[in-house]
Amino acid sequence: MTAYGLTPRQSELMTFLATYDRDRGYAPTFDEMMKALGYQSKSSIDRLLNALEERGHICRIPNRSRSTSIARPA
């Protein structure tokens, strides 16, 4: 486990999401996340995103493209 109780892959995805959003101003697609992390399956990315969402690290809007955002502390 890494900082904030994340697995290494979750931490890697969080870093990618934050960097992508900072550089482009919007969230990556599943295909872009798959390519960046070296996965062959969208379900693997979905599992990582679900885990991050359950832990409160990200927010997602169902059925919307590029709706992943880093949760900001209040």
CATH architecture type of domain 3-70: Orthogonal Bundle (1.10)
Tens of pLDDT along 29-64?
Answer: 999 999 999 999 999 999 999 999 999 999 998 888
Asked if the model's pLDDT at residue 4 lies above 80, the reply is no
> Domain spans of the chain?
3-70
Read off the DSSP letter of residue 5: G
Q: What does the mean pLDDT of the chain come to? A: 90
